[in-house]
Structure formats: structure tokens, C-alpha cells
Structure 1
Amino acid sequence: MAITSANQLELLQTAEAVAREKMIDPELVVEAMEESLARAAKSRYGAELDIRVSIDRKTGKATFTRVRTVVADDEIENDRAELNVEDAKDYLDDPKIGDTIVDEVPPVEMGRIAAQSAKQVILQKVREAERDRQYEEFKDRVGTIINGQVKREEYGNVIVDIGRGEAILRRNEKIGRESYRPNDRIRVYIKDVRREVRGPQIFLSRTDPQFMAELFKMEVPEIYDGIIEIKAVARDPGSRAKIAVISHDSSIDPVGACVGMRGSRVQAVVNELQGEKIDIIPWNEDQPTFLVNALQPAEVSKVVLDEEAERIEVVVPEEQLSLAIGRRGQNVRLASQLTGLDIDIMTEEEESARRQAEFEVRTKLFMETLDLDEFFAQLLVSEGFTSLEEVAYVEVDELLVIDGVDDDTASELQARARDYLEAQAKKALETARELGAQDSLIEFEGLTPQMVEALAKDDVKTLEDFATCADWELAGGWTTVNGERSKDDGVLEPFDVSLEEAQNMVMTARIQLGWVDPADLASDDEEEGEAATEEAGA
């Protein structure tokens, strides 16, 4: 087949038809045709030549050209596509390196093999363009709900026709034991879109918490309009869920709006989620208050929050314990997901027993270290004293408020506490030196003798050793693996060293050793400040 004998407009008509069918840009199809014709020409004239084809977008005429580039003498690698400045003078008046010489060459006769190769190039380009179009279309729809039609099921995974492509609903993303037959209509959440070698992969979900949030957005106009905001969602798919909402209009009740008249709005969501029970909870900035709401329908007596550890203790009456925990721990687990906190639930009796045990431990501490009788030690604990340091260095006036304590008694108590602490410090220092602790560490500001002893026991014996420590190794922290939080114990954690304090001490040690230039830290702080200002302005 000769390109010259073909109807020249047929190329453009074919490009238009293919582009319309595949819903891609016709220009991409024409470019694929140009590449396929150029490849066919190279097989005729030689693969070393730089043959290019240009198809006129109006007439369909294909023009074949040979392109040669002017390069330096010592850079010629392909003498059929490159030439030096001297040889280029035969074609150009004043050739320079980088100039190109374009010569038109006769169109090629496309044999069967060349035509087949051209067809493969065009099909490949069309497939790539189609995949790019599909990826661009769906990547911006991640986080939205789409309606599809079930095509087939493979190993428990459901293949869904979503109009301009296929998507996959994995078996672990289905609710409970729901099953589908071919041609069933299905409503799903687009969880992820990935660009892969075999084409864009679209992953769907019906168990994702945001699927429920999007369903509420569809059923509740106030959420869609932004008057009511969904702050958090937690789900046990197919069984139970909790959703926290807040209203930005004081005249609108967020819970009532989500429930709807006679429960019509929430019931529509429940029906879509295969009967999943939904607790709608008012969101509150105060975490303890929010947690009390999240544990509904259980009643809470008291909440104790540990912000640094992101843990919270909840005290409930004995008869409310099973309700607060829920069947198989479901209620407390969902409340934990909703608030982002680890929750410890205990009864009032358990909390009372724990407080009594702490009271006894502190009483015994004061009895043994300060040589006090039980009654006087209990008085100290009752007044809120928890450590020897508090007794030793507190203002005398705070001791005088205790019944039976005068100036002399207060002075004696503080003297005993200080003597004991000094003896403990001296003993700790001796132990640390025996373990090999060096003066550079012992004299470092911010470390007590007991801290130095603990570090030496952990094989941190010099300032260099200390400077290589991570902040969490000193202060402790939490690690989350597969959704489970585990505690990392810190060497200085028993001394109530915070993560920020540990960071400051380690950085100070590095500056003293000359590892870090304070000027660099100052410039980094300035850059962070400028970035924060720009972000706030934006």
C-alpha cells in the first residue's frame, strides 16, 4: 500500500473516529499515526536516519523528511543523522552547531509487515492515551461516591463497571458477607486510584469510614452546604458506627439535622450500610467532654486525661461498665477511634482501690524517709504532697497550713527531706562513677546525679554518648504499628523528663561538642518563622 495512493483525508477521518470512540484527543491519534509512518519509513531508508513524518491537519497529506543535525567534529556518533560544520556548508550559508538540515524524502510503499507495525504503534498510543484519560478523570474523584454495575466476581473481589472503565471492590472492602450478582447496581466509595503499568487501577470501598460520611453528605443538605461539619467517623462495618458532628449555626441542632424527620435521613444511610447502627454524637473541642459523648449510651462519672501519652482514664459506675465497654469491646473501641485516644475504663470501686493504693505507697515513703509516724505522713499525703522534692523545696507557708505544723516543725521536715535527698544524690553519683560515668556527663547542666546513674546503667557514660541519643530514648514515647500503640520506655522517663526537655538537652550537648553551629539553628528557626507567616498570610 502506498501512502500516496490512499485517500489523504481518510487519515484524518480515521483519527477522528478512533478519538471519538475512545474519548481521547484526536491530536494524540494523529501523532500516533505520524510515529507509525516514521517507523515504517526508517525500515525502508535505514534505522540510522532521523526520519520524521508530518500530517497536515487540514488536508491529511503526509510529508516525509530527513533531519540531520550539525555537531562538532569530535562528537559525531551517527554520520547518517549528524554532520560537521564544514560539510553543512553545502546546505547552509552559515551553519552553526545545533542547526538542522531538513530534506524531504519520497513517501514509502507500506508492505504488509510495515502496515501491521504501524497499526500496532497506533493501537499502543491509543491505549496509553486512553489510560491517561481514565487516570486523569478518576484521580480527582478519590474520596467521592460513585454508582456502578457489577460485571463479575473473582476470588471474592468484585469487578465493577463505572462507565469509562473498570474498578475493583476487594473482598475486605465489602460490608459483612454481602454478595453481588452480575448486573447488580452498587454504590461505592473511590478509595484510591493508582497509575500502574497495566493501566490505572481504581480501588473501591464500602467499609471505609469516609463512605458513611459521604452518604450523610448526600442525605443531609446542611452537611453539603457546610453548615454542619463531620469532625470524625469510626466504623465497625456492618455492625455499628459513631459519627461526630458540629453545627456552625447555633440555631441548627447538628444531631437532629442528621437524624431527620422521624429518622428518615439516618435511616437512608443505615439501609445503604446493611443495617449498620449509627450513633450520632455532638462534637466538642474539650476532649473529656467529647469522650463522655462518644461513650454514649453509657454514663461516665469521671474522666482523667493524660495529654502527653494521649491516654484517658474513664470512671463509670459498676452497673454501667458492660455498657461502656460494649459487646466484644465495640463501644470503647469505636470511641477510641473517634477521639484518637487510648481509653482505659474502670469502675468507681476500682478507681477508689487504686487511689487508696497510691495513698498507702506515698504514706509509706514519707514514714520511711522522713522518720514520721503514720498519722503525720497521711496528713502530708492528704494535703497533696507526692514526693520528697515537694516537701524539701516548697514554700514554708504551704507546710504551715497543715494542722499541728509550726515554723520549727516545718523547718525540721524540710531539713530531713533535704538531708535524705542529698544522701541519695551522693550515693547515685558514686554508683555512676563506678559504672564509668565521665565528668563531662556528670557536670552537664540539667542532669541530676540520679539521672546520670540511670544513663550510666544504660551504657551512656560520656557527653558524646548522650549527644547521640534520640529524644524518645530519653523521654519515652509511643509507637503505632498496624494500628496498635505500644509504649517505648525512656531512660529518663522516671524523672518526668518531657520530650521537649530531652530535645533541648540533646541539642545543647551537640552544641557544646561543636557538632552543631548555633547560627545554623537560628537561621532554621527564622526560615520556619517566615514559612509559618507566609502560610498564615495565604
Structure 2
Amino acid sequence: MAQSGISANRLELLQIADAVAREKSIDRTLVLSAMEDAIQKAAKSRYGSENEIRAEIDPRTGEIRLSRLLEVVERVTLDATEISLKDAMKRNPEAEVGDFIAEPLPPLDFGRVAAQNAKQVIVQKVREAERERQFEEYKDRMSEIVSGVVKRAEYGNVMIDLGRAEAIIRRDETLPRENYKLGDRVRAYVYDVRRENRGPQIFLSRTRPEFMAKLFAQEVPEIYDGIVEIKSVARDPGSRAKIAVVSKETSVDPVGACVGMRGSRVQAVVNELQGEKIDIIQWSGDPATFIVNALAPAEVAKVVLDEESERIEVVVPDEQLSLAIGRKGQNVRLASQLTGWDIDILTEAEESERRQKEFAERTAAFVNALDVDEMIAQLLVSEGFASVEELAFVDSHEVAIIEGFDENTALEIQERAREFLERQEAELNEKRRALGVADELAEVPGVTTAMLVAFGENNIKTVEDLADCATDELAGWTERAHGQTKQNPGILQGFDLSKSDIEHLIIAARVKAGWIEAPEEPEEEPAEADSLEDGSALEAHEDEPTEADSHEGAEAEAHDSAEAEAHEEGGEHAQSQEKAL
């Protein structure tokens, strides 16, 4: 009778383990392990916590075996956990010092308190196993769309029951004017899964661009199959969005594939996003074309790219300005987010006014610098000359071919331009000295007198001061926050230098200051048009101009050589002044 009771208890133990494993979706062995820990804890409280007790449950029969582990030692100091080698060899002739002997214990009769403690241990272990299972399952489902039922809403946050776990949609990750009721079915994007003390936290979002991209992948088979690729997405959640797509097969229209027959595919996404309007844009590898497409439905008349600062100036007809900007700047803001470029919108009238202003400013600069009448200055600006430096060092033939000019006029104008630059150089040199800028700083390769003045005005007066500068400090930097871009000017902002040029300037200063060794010069290679990667190849290319050289290349080359001569003349002039003093 007693034996049948024991069998029933054993069978009941295994049935409980199976039921818990199924309910919590965890491994049965984890439940049995939790039970073993609970029995072990109860046995320790019964026999004494100083004992090293092990409990085992046979997974087939449910039989519970208790044993006490005793370490084999030469000399026993603690009877509860140690056994002498002599006694151990009586039980196991092969026993050695350091081994463990398992001493069987009689079955344990659980009391009420011990049973309660055992239950708590089992519940805790099962909960930990369930949390670990949830984390392992959902950490691999990040960047996926999941579906669940609204369980409750707390302070704007919505708790979602996913069936085998619970997730949260925070207030800022829900669409505006979207209200959830208990039992509503919700689809959302898993953007983060964290392991925390209270269990794994699964964070969902309905506002992120990735959610829209995944929705399109579900609705458009061409995206799922990889024929059409989503390049970028920009959203103003609940209001408007832009999505850029491109096809890998010329026979497939990416925009048409996303729109679907009579707009069925895009409408399914719109319905899921509570009526959010979606512009589907044809992506292009050409930034200008892509940006023009992104500003749709507005028409663009002209674009001017500044690739270095990733900025573009877009000119639109006057009547298209409000459409290009959009309500509260929405259209241009989304286009900027979609393309990654900062976009400035101008009307044709504003652009014309600015060009006229630039023309007038350049004309006035030539009149003052060259002491010529306004008509000659206007002719020079009309021919594309933008500065006195460009005019001074270009080939005289380029000036002589202007209508109404001859060779003598060209030489006279260029002579006046060089004289003006020499006077300007002397004035800048004097100003540089007055600011206390060290002569040694002028010896850093790439530094001009105008730069020395700018350095002095910003308290950079020695080679060490320049060597200690950061690139952004000299070149300027941009900050992007809340969809707005703020431009922070650098010390050398107006000197037409790239970030790479400024980095080389700082490295040259550090070499001059002795902080670092000069970089090794690359081995000279034959100058080829396709391999102008190092300084030596570039110099070889400049020394041997070809017939294919552009007008701008000739101007830049002449400008560089003449500027070096002017710099040397200015240096000799400064030395003679110092001797006279």
C-alpha cells in the first residue's frame, strides 16, 4: 500500500514537471533541475546547512535520491563535509585524496515550512528559465514586425501581449491620435530587446522608418525577393513619409511595383499607418537627380551642389516655392532626411537677385584693385574671373582674347593686379606682426600670410598653437538636431580649403614642432592620369601639362607658381625692412 503511494507521488511529480514545462514553454529538464534545487534546499535545512547535499530526480521514474558529498582527506577537520582516506577506501578501494564520496541519505519527509520553501524555489527557478527563454527568442527577432494584443495602457505607454512574452510601445513610439483599447490587435517593429532584473524588456515602435520599410517588404513581393531595394525612408509619423526605391532589373518599375494595381499595395501600408501619406521616390546614384525626385511634387528649375559639405542649393519657380517647402517645412525636411543632404530652397527671383549682387561685388572689387573703369571690370567678371588672384596669374592670352582688349591691355591689367596683391601681402604681413604671430609659423608648409592674420585674431601665434588645433576647430563643423542643421564656422572657413588640406596643415605643424616624425614619402611612380594618388604623381602631372588640361587647371597651376614667387618676394621685402630697422 505504501509502495503504491510512493509510486503515485513519483508519477505526480513527473506530471507536474511536464505541465509546467508546457505552460511556460521551457525545457522539462529545467523544471526537474528546479525541483532538485528545491529538494536540496529543504534537505539542507533538515540535515544542517554545513552539509554538502545533492538531490537527483530520475527523469523516467520520478525517484528522488538524496546523498551527502564527503571530500577524501588525509586528516578530517570537519565531519560534515570530509572523510578520511582510510574510511573512504573501505567504501571504494580506488579512492584517493581529493575525490568525493557520495553517502546515501534516507528519503526526506517534507514538513509544511520545507514544502513552502521548496515551492518558492521552484517558482523562482521556473520564472528565471522563462525569462531567459523569452530573451533568447526575441533577441533574434529584432528588426522584425510582430503582432500582439493590447493588454493595458499606462501613462501613454501600451503593453502588448505577444503570446509568449510581453512587450511595450512607449508613448513617443506610437502614432499621433492613435488610441488603443483593451483587446485591440497591434502590429509593430521590434527595435530593442534588453535583459533587465524584472525580466527581458521588448521595445516596439510604430513610428520608426524601419517599420514602414518592413511593411512594404510584406506587401510588395519584389522587395521581399530582392528585385526592388528600399534605399532610404524618411517619416513625419502619422502625417507624411517619403521612401526611395530602386530596381535591380531594368524591366521592373520600382515605383509601380510599390504602388500596386490601382494603388492597392501602398494603400495597405497607408491603412496600417492610420492614413499617413506616402511619396514613393525613384532613387538615383546622381545626387542632383535624386534630390530633384525627392522634392516632388514640386518642380525644380536648377540645382547647385557643394559635395564637400553635402549641401545643395535648389532653385524653383516662384509659384512652386510653397509646394517645395511644404507645410511647416515638411516637404524639404523629409527630402533632406531621405537624401542626407542639406537643402536650401531659392526662388528664381531670389537667385537672380543674388547673382546680380555677386556681379556687382566682383565688379567693385576689380574697380578698386585695378583702378579701371566700371565697364572694364564688368567685362572681366562676365568672362568668369572671380578674383584678383585668378586674374593676376592666368596666362595673359586668356585676358587678351576678351572683346575690346589687346595684348598690351592684358599685360597692363595683370601688372596692376600683381601690384595690388603685393601691397595686400605687405599689409597682411604688417598686421600679422602687430598681432604677435611668430615668424616661424609662416614656415609651416601651406600657411599663407592671410592665414597668419586669421590665426593671430584667434590667438594662434606659434607653431605649437597650430599643432594643438583640431581639424573641426579650423574647418568648422555641422550639428544636426531635430531635423535642423547648424553650421559652426571654423577659423579657416573662408580660405577654400578641404578638411584633408587642413589635416595636412596640422600634421605639418606637428612635424615642425617636433611632436611627430614626418610621414614617409611614397615611392615615385610614373605620372599617369588614372593614378594621381600621391604628391609626387601630382607634381609630375603639373610639371607636364597636356593639351587636355582644362582652363581651370591652367589657372590653378599659374596661380600656385606666381603665389610662391609673390611669397618669396614678400619674404625678401620683409627681411630688408628688418635690416633697415
TM-score range, shorter chain: 0.7 to 0.9
- Aligned partner of 1:157 in structure 2 is 157
- Aligned partner of 1:472 in structure 2 is 472
- Contact 1:69 1:81 (C-alpha < 8 Å) held by counterparts: no
Quote the Cα distance in structure 1 between the aligned partners of 2:373 and 2:71. 101
Measured against aligned partners, the alpha-carbon deviations of 1:124-143 in whole angstroms (never above 9, x if no partner) come to 22111111211222222222
Question: How has the CA–CA distance of structure 1 residues 53 and 449 changed in structure 2, closer, same or farther, with 3 Å as cutoff?
Answer: farther
- Contact 1:284 1:290 (C-alpha < 8 Å) held by counterparts: yes
Measured against aligned partners, the alpha-carbon deviations of 1:381-417 in whole angstroms (never above 9, x if no partner) come to 1121112221222233322332233333333333332
Question: Residue 316 of structure 1: CA displacement?
Answer: 0.8
Q: What secondary structure sits across from 2:191 in the alignment?
A: strand
Question: Residue 483 of structure 1: CA displacement?
Answer: 3.9
Quote the Cα distance in structure 2 between the aligned partners of 1:363 and 1:421. 17
Q: What secondary structure sits across from 2:215 in the alignment?
A: helix
- Contact 2:70 2:103 (C-alpha < 8 Å) held by counterparts: no
Q: What secondary structure sits across from 1:404 in the alignment?
A: coil
Is residue 16 of structure 2 the alignment partner of residue 17 of structure 1? no
Q: What secondary structure sits across from 2:494 in the alignment?
A: helix
- Contact 1:255 1:281 (C-alpha < 8 Å) held by counterparts: yes
Question: Residue 10 of structure 1: CA displacement?
Answer: 4.5
Is residue 210 of structure 2 the alignment partner of residue 223 of structure 1? no
Quote the Cα distance in structure 2 between the aligned partners of 1:90 and 1:483. 80
Q: Taking structure 2 as the reference length, what is the TM-score of the superposition?
A: 0.80
Question: How has the CA–CA distance of structure 1 residues 68 and 375 changed in structure 2, closer, same or farther, with 3 Å as cutoff?
Answer: farther
Summarize the alignment of residues 421-436 of structure 1 with structure 2, pairs less than 5 Å apart. 421-436=421-436
Question: How has the CA–CA distance of structure 1 residues 466 and 317 changed in structure 2, closer, same or farther, with 3 Å as cutoff?
Answer: same
Q: What secondary structure sits across from 1:446 in the alignment?
A: coil
RMSD: 3.1
- Contact 2:325 2:332 (C-alpha < 8 Å) held by counterparts: yes
Question: Residue 206 of structure 1: CA displacement?
Answer: 2.1
- Contact 1:42 1:49 (C-alpha < 8 Å) held by counterparts: yes
Deviates more, 1:509-518 or 1:198-207: 509-518
- Aligned partner of 2:114 in structure 1 is 114
Question: How has the CA–CA distance of structure 1 residues 30 and 369 changed in structure 2, closer, same or farther, with 3 Å as cutoff?
Answer: same
Summarize the alignment of residues 96-135 of structure 1 with structure 2, pairs less than 5 Å apart. 99-104=98-103, 106=105, 108-135=108-135
Which segments of 5 or more consecutive residues in structure 1 lack a partner in the other structure? 523-538
Q: 2:34 aligns with which of 32, 35, 50?
A: 32
**Greater Rg, structure 1 or structure 2?**
2
Summarize the alignment of residues 129-528 of structure 1 with structure 2, pairs less than 5 Å apart. 129-516=129-516
How many residues in Structure 1 have an aligned counterpart in Structure 2?
512
Quote the Cα distance in structure 2 between the aligned partners of 1:436 and 1:72. 85
Which segments of 5 or more consecutive residues in structure 2 lack a partner in the other structure? 523-581
Deviates more, 1:310-319 or 1:6-15: 6-15
Q: What secondary structure sits across from 1:410 in the alignment?
A: helix
Quote the Cα distance in structure 2 between the aligned partners of 1:136 and 1:120. 24
Quote the Cα distance in structure 1 between the aligned partners of 2:391 and 2:475. 25
- Contact 2:72 2:101 (C-alpha < 8 Å) held by counterparts: no
- Contact 1:49 1:80 (C-alpha < 8 Å) held by counterparts: no
The code of the aligned residue for 1:23 comes to S
Measured against aligned partners, the alpha-carbon deviations of 1:293-341 in whole angstroms (never above 9, x if no partner) come to 1111111100111122222111111111111112222222221121112
- Aligned partner of 1:526 in structure 2 is none
- Contact 1:173 1:205 (C-alpha < 8 Å) held by counterparts: yes
Q: What secondary structure sits across from 1:134 in the alignment?
A: helix
Q: What secondary structure sits across from 1:384 in the alignment?
A: coil
Summarize the alignment of residues 54-69 of structure 1 with structure 2, pairs less than 5 Å apart. 54-67=56-69
Question: Residue 149 of structure 1: CA displacement?
Answer: 1.6
Quote the Cα distance in structure 2 between the aligned partners of 1:262 and 1:391. 61
The code of the aligned residue for 2:34 comes to A
Quote the Cα distance in structure 1 between the aligned partners of 2:152 and 2:279. 34
Quote the Cα distance in structure 1 between the aligned partners of 2:514 and 2:441. 15
Question: How has the CA–CA distance of structure 1 residues 46 and 454 changed in structure 2, closer, same or farther, with 3 Å as cutoff?
Answer: farther
- Contact 1:336 1:342 (C-alpha < 8 Å) held by counterparts: yes
Deviates more, 1:184-193 or 1:253-262: 184-193
Measured against aligned partners, the alpha-carbon deviations of 1:107-138 in whole angstroms (never above 9, x if no partner) come to 55543333322222221221111112112222
Question: Residue 278 of structure 1: CA displacement?
Answer: 1.8
Quote the Cα distance in structure 2 between the aligned partners of 1:354 and 1:129. 69
Question: How has the CA–CA distance of structure 1 residues 51 and 517 changed in structure 2, closer, same or farther, with 3 Å as cutoff?
Answer: farther
Question: Residue 8 of structure 1: CA displacement?
Answer: 4.2
Question: How has the CA–CA distance of structure 1 residues 497 and 63 changed in structure 2, closer, same or farther, with 3 Å as cutoff?
Answer: farther
- Contact 2:292 2:300 (C-alpha < 8 Å) held by counterparts: yes
Q: What secondary structure sits across from 2:420 in the alignment?
A: helix
Question: Residue 343 of structure 1: CA displacement?
Answer: 1.3
Question: How has the CA–CA distance of structure 1 residues 513 and 275 changed in structure 2, closer, same or farther, with 3 Å as cutoff?
Answer: same
Q: What secondary structure sits across from 2:186 in the alignment?
A: strand
Deviates more, 1:403-412 or 1:447-456: 403-412
Quote the Cα distance in structure 2 between the aligned partners of 1:81 and 1:388. 99
The code of the aligned residue for 1:38 comes to Q
Question: Residue 513 of structure 1: CA displacement?
Answer: 3.6
Measured against aligned partners, the alpha-carbon deviations of 1:440-486 in whole angstroms (never above 9, x if no partner) come to 32211111111122112211222222122111111112122344321
Q: Taking structure 1 as the reference length, what is the TM-score of the superposition?
A: 0.86
Question: How has the CA–CA distance of structure 1 residues 459 and 12 changed in structure 2, closer, same or farther, with 3 Å as cutoff?
Answer: farther
Q: What secondary structure sits across from 1:485 in the alignment?
A: strand
Question: How has the CA–CA distance of structure 1 residues 465 and 186 changed in structure 2, closer, same or farther, with 3 Å as cutoff?
Answer: same
Deviates more, 1:313-322 or 1:458-467: 458-467
Question: How has the CA–CA distance of structure 1 residues 111 and 434 changed in structure 2, closer, same or farther, with 3 Å as cutoff?
Answer: farther
Quote the Cα distance in structure 2 between the aligned partners of 1:391 and 1:121. 89
- Contact 1:475 1:492 (C-alpha < 8 Å) held by counterparts: yes
Quote the Cα distance in structure 2 between the aligned partners of 1:333 and 1:175. 19
- Contact 1:150 1:185 (C-alpha < 8 Å) held by counterparts: yes
Question: How has the CA–CA distance of structure 1 residues 491 and 45 changed in structure 2, closer, same or farther, with 3 Å as cutoff?
Answer: farther
Question: How has the CA–CA distance of structure 1 residues 519 and 83 changed in structure 2, closer, same or farther, with 3 Å as cutoff?
Answer: farther
Quote the Cα distance in structure 1 between the aligned partners of 2:282 and 2:74. 75
Q: What secondary structure sits across from 1:389 in the alignment?
A: helix
Question: Residue 424 of structure 1: CA displacement?
Answer: 2.5
